[in-house]
Structure 1
Amino acid sequence: MDSLNPDHPPLIETPAPPRVWKFWGTALWGLLIFVAMFVGQIGAIVLLVVLRGLPMDLASLQSIGHEPQALALSVIMGLPATLAAVWLAIRIKKASFTDYLALYWPSWRQLLFGAVGLVLIVLAWEVVSRSLGREATPGFMTDLLKSGRDKGAALMLLIAFSVAAPMSEEVLARGFLFRGWSASFLRVPGAIVLSSLVWTIVHLQYDMYFLAEVFSIGLWFGYMRYRANSLWLTIILHALNNLTAVVLTMWLGS
């Protein structure tokens, strides 16, 4: 037998390297995924315009889009569109959806560590905001959430901003983008920074001060994604952060 013959050692099969989109492939697919998210979101607004029999023009889209219920539905509908585009990109590479996005549950210790770090970052920005006399939450978000509460859309907004938005954004940023860019010449540090920058750009409705806060939180999420090898961890942290902000703004904010 070859296994017993030193002149003919047994063959050892080395596992094939994982199929991953590298820098440009990840960047191009990331753009397509973002477009899919946008199409899913705007599609919900278009559907409401059609159902109400309004003219299909910019004025109607803006009018519907400013309603809390419509905005919440828009954010929610962005999630399936994002997941579909990410699934397609990973499917083309014939890779495992779970492995590609690191959809593994974190340990309680990792979750606690990530939550403590997030709380410290948020508190630090809170102190800076108070020292500068700034609002801790953008004014338009405060108006939107309180208007939604008064109009009976609190639950929809809670689901949109605490479930759908964190999942969509994390699957794109810390899931797909981080996975591909960390396997490219950027390596892990570059992937953390660039994916955080992209995530910040998604929030361009904020001013530069709040964008800086978003970027710093993105860096922490990226580090935790790498440290724990778990996208579920950053989804949970993102959801907890948004949930706290929404609840405090709706019912306890001044």
Structure 2
Amino acid sequence: MDTLNPDHPPLVMTRAEHAPPVWKFWGTALWGLFIFVAMFVGQIGAVVLLAAQRGLPMDLASLQLVGHEPQTLALSVIMGLPATLLAVWLAIRIKKASFVDYLALHWTSWKQLLLGAVGLILIVLVWETMSRALGREATPGFMTDLLKSGRDKGAALLLLFAFSVAAPMSEEILARGFLYRGWSASFLRVPGAILLSSLVWTIVHLQYDIYFLAEVFTIGLWFGYMRYRAGSLWLTIVLHALNNLTAVVLTMWVGG
């Protein structure tokens, strides 16, 4: 038998051979940059397409004019999702890994969802209280103007879908999906991956001031922890969607 033959020792699988293929620190960072660029190109492509349909010249002034309209901005955010999915699929495909497993697209328990929601509510309430104490707006002024303008111009549902479905999916797939997966398997481990992916997610929101960026970063840390705790990206997508949905509804129809 081979087990008794020194020339043919038994095959023993090492832990590394069992580990699923995954991009590590630099691979994840470079592919993450590529995915972000793809998302941006998808968003800008929607603006260019709408400007071309109107017969406008392809210059910066025309693109800015079209891009500031609520319908255009909503379509831009929506078009960033398929571009993001395609770029992430390519990165995972090259590694010959499972798209679902790589991104942890598995549902979690209602207990984890409840915990995540309660934690999110507490974080938002703390920041809301601080905003009121400092005499600040709970929602950035430009977002309030955009959402109310969209409501008045008949783009409410489109904006609602863009900010409550498309944006959470795109951002979570990038941050808590692809970036967390690779960086948590690198020298950063889980704590470093949560911290760095939250920082990247915060940088994506540079249109906000430093106060709102701090709030975004805090929420990102909670999402990262829940991603680790539950092992589910769907959980953070749902939490992100609930957060955005509440903010959009309050701003559009309640005046919060």
Determine the C-alpha separation between the residues in 1 that align with 2:249 and 2:143. 12
Which has the higher mean CA deviation after the structures are superposed, 161-170 or 10-19? 10-19
5+ residue gaps, structure 1:
none
> What TM-score do the two structures reach when normalised by structure 2?
0.95
Cα shift at 1:198: 0.2
- 2:234 aligned partner, one-letter code: W
* Structure-1 residue corresponding to 2:60: 58
> What TM-score do the two structures reach when normalised by structure 1?
0.96
Count of residues paired in the alignment: 253
Deviation readout 1:95-154 (Å, 9 max, x if unpaired)? 010110000001000000000000000000000000000000000000000000000000
Determine the C-alpha separation between the residues in 2 that align with 1:2 and 1:59. 75
Q: Secondary structure at the match of 1:184?
A: coil
Cα shift at 1:187: 0.4
1:20 is aligned, of 16, 19, 22, to 22
* Structure-2 residue corresponding to 1:132: 134
Determine the C-alpha separation between the residues in 2 that align with 1:229 and 1:30. 20
Cα shift at 1:16: 2.5
- Confirm whether residue 217 of structure 1 aligns to residue 219 of structure 2: yes
1:204 is aligned, of 194, 203, 206, to 206
Determine the C-alpha separation between the residues in 1 that align with 2:67 and 2:187. 41
* Structure-2 residue corresponding to 1:160: 162
The percent of aligned pairs where both chains have the same amino acid is 85
Deviation readout 1:4-38 (Å, 9 max, x if unpaired)? x8x99975555532111000000000000000000
Runs of 4+ with deviation above 4 angstroms: 7-15
Determine the C-alpha separation between the residues in 1 that align with 2:149 and 2:228. 38
Determine the C-alpha separation between the residues in 2 that align with 1:246 and 1:187. 35
- Confirm whether residue 36 of structure 1 aligns to residue 38 of structure 2: yes
- 1:226 aligned partner, one-letter code: Y
Q: Secondary structure at the match of 1:56?
A: coil
- Confirm whether residue 235 of structure 1 aligns to residue 237 of structure 2: yes
Determine the C-alpha separation between the residues in 2 that align with 1:97 and 1:186. 22
5+ residue gaps, structure 2:
none
- 1:46 aligned partner, one-letter code: V
Determine the C-alpha separation between the residues in 1 that align with 2:11 and 2:23. 30
* Structure-1 residue corresponding to 2:84: 82
* Structure-1 residue corresponding to 2:50: 48
Q: Relative to 1, partners in 2 of residues 1:50 and 1:220: Cα closer, same or farther, differing over 3 Å?
A: same
- 2:83 aligned partner, one-letter code: A
Task: Quote the RMSD (CA, aligned, Å).
Answer: 1.7
The residue correspondences of 1:187-202 to structure 2 (distance < 5 A) are: 187-202=189-204
- Confirm whether residue 92 of structure 1 aligns to residue 80 of structure 2: no
* Structure-1 residue corresponding to 2:182: 180
* Structure-1 residue corresponding to 2:70: 68
- 2:91 aligned partner, one-letter code: A
